[in-house]
């Protein structure tokens, strides 16, 4: 069930909010836990049993790891953590990567059958939540959760279950035990404008631009010219930002309506001055997760330069494959890891933020666009072919690809409008402005998104012009 669907907007969300308002405040976690399992079962069917099984495993392991008996037996405690992490990762590997691995083996050994395994939606996200939970409990940063309803609320909370933000357990454990009696209408007033912002970004901008990117990346390379290739690359650059940041805005706004504060996931990434800066601004919850649970445990930047570069590449190989079992994602991760290593080696990432702002933003954005072409392409040769056309101007082709796909001027106008996000001041983010500012301008913006943008987006949803969120596939 997509947030941008009639079923969610007009039935599921009002019903859950109504139950939250009508029942006692102490029933909040029950409402969200039950609604979240129904939400997941609606889209994933029987895979809800896999989710429940993973939750039982990690809930029980957390209790054991935090128990007094194991605390006095460090080796057994460490072994249980390793076994639990291994089980979580095994489930992720089997369902997400077994098909890819069998395909590669089939190319080498034709007798090896290719496995076709249906991917459970959101498996990467709920796996990372489970890993965060057991590691945080093991480290002692938070005690084990002894209330199963609160645990289900953390793992399966429907605003962030399918596509994040990735919430580390220590960020939300205290909120799970709080009640919001007397604040529910205020929570709704605070959260709905943020939800409306995300809905508008997704439905009005991202979905309108999607046909341009789909037409270009779905065409053979020999049918593209320099202009069309660049239009397609720019379209996907804007589409993935408005689509994913729109989902994050909707998730943060939804959670706020129920009294939860989720971490921010975007901070004007296309205003970055370097790739290092880009990863401080793009999908920040994923970057923080890898920093806390992979990069720092590997040694971070505390060892030799070679060890630091090894750690960087390890993280970005994992980041690439986390997004999907395809070579394009691996190469995209290696590209970003290589750029980070280059910036560290040359000192480019340490240049004062006030120097050469315009050229640094342009070069960083160009590098990000190159990465998105590899990320979006159906195959590595296809992505490299598009990059070759973009790098070497060739006007022998035409824009027939866009014409044949029925791309209208309205979509191109919205693409141009979306590109304006590149020129907004680097420190301004609309989401936090809507939530934090109490100026008249912020009040007018909240009203505009709530009573103008949200209904306009809802009309497009009713007309059937919405599409699934891009990060549902991860």
Residues involved in catalysis: 323
Closest CA to 153 of 18, 21, 63, 30: 30
CA distance 118 to 120: 6
**Are 43 and 51 a contacting pair, CB within 8 Å?**
no
- Residues whose CB falls within 8 Å of the CB of residue 47, separated by 6 or more in sequence, listed in order: 40, 120, 121
CA distance 396 to 389: 11
CA distance 357 to 160: 34
**Are 402 and 225 a contacting pair, CB within 8 Å?**
no
CA triple 276-207-364, angle to 5 deg: 20
Tokens in use for 89?
A: 């990762």
CA distance 66 to 331: 40
**Are 269 and 330 a contacting pair, CB within 8 Å?**
no
- Residues whose CB falls within 8 Å of the CB of residue 351, separated by 6 or more in sequence, listed in order: 273, 274, 360
């Amino acid at each position: 069930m997509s947030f941008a669907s009639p079923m969610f907007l007009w039935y599921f969300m009002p019903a859950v909010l109504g139950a939250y308002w009508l029942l006692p405040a102490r029933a909040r976690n029950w409402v969200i836990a039950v609604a979240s399992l129904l939400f997941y079962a609606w889209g994933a069917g029987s895979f809800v049993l896999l989710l429940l099984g993973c939750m039982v495993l990690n809930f029980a392991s957390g209790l054991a790891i935090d128990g007094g008996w194991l605390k006095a037996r460090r080796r057994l405690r460490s072994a249980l953590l390793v076994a639990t992490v291994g089980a979580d990762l095994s489930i992720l590997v089997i369902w997400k990567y077994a098909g890819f691995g069998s395909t590669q083996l089939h190319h080498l050994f034709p007798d090896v059958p290719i496995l076709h395994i249906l991917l459970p939606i959101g498996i990467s996200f709920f796996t990372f939540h489970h890993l965060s939970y057991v590691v945080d409990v093991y480290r002692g940063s938070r005690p084990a959760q002894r209330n199963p309803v609160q645990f289900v609320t953390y793992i399966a909370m429907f605003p962030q279950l399918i596509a994040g933000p990735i919430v580390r357990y220590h960020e939300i454990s205290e909120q799970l035990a709080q009640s919001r009696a007397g604040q529910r209408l205020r929570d709704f007033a605070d959260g709905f404008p943020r939800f409306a912002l995300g809905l508008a970004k997704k439905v009005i901008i991202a979905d309108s631009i999607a046909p341009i990117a789909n037409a270009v990346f779905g065409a053979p390379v020999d049918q593209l010219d320099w202009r069309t290739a660049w239009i397609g690359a720019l379209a996907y650059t804007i589409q993935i930002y408005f689509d994913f940041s729109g989902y994050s805005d909707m998730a943060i706004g939804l959670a706020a309506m129920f009294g939860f504060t989720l971490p921010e996931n975007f901070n004007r990434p296309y205003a970055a001055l370097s790739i290092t800066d880009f990863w401080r601004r793009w999908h920040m919850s994923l970057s923080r997760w890898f920093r806390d649970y992979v990069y720092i445990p590997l040694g971070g930047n505390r060892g030799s330069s070679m060890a630091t570069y090894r750690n960087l590449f390890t993280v970005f190989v994992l980041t690439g494959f986390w997004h999907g079992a395809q070579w394009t994602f691996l190469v995209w991760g290696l590209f970003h890891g290589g750029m980070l290593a280059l910036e560290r080696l040359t000192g480019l990432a340490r240049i004062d933020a006030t120097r050469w702002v315009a050229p640094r933003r342009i070069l960083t954005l160009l590098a990000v666009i190159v990465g998105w072409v590899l990320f979006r392409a159906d195959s590595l040769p296809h992505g490299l072919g598009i990059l070759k056309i973009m790098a070497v101007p060739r006007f022998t082709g035409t824009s027939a690809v866009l014409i044949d796909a029925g791309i209208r001027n309205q979509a191109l106008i919205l693409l141009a409008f979306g590109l304006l996000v590149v020129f907004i001041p680097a420190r301004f983010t609309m989401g936090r402005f809507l939530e934090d500012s109490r100026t008249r301008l912020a009040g007018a913006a909240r009203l505009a998104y709530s009573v103008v943008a949200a209904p306009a987006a809802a009309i497009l949803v009713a007309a059937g012009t919405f599409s699934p969120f891009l990060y549902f596939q991860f």
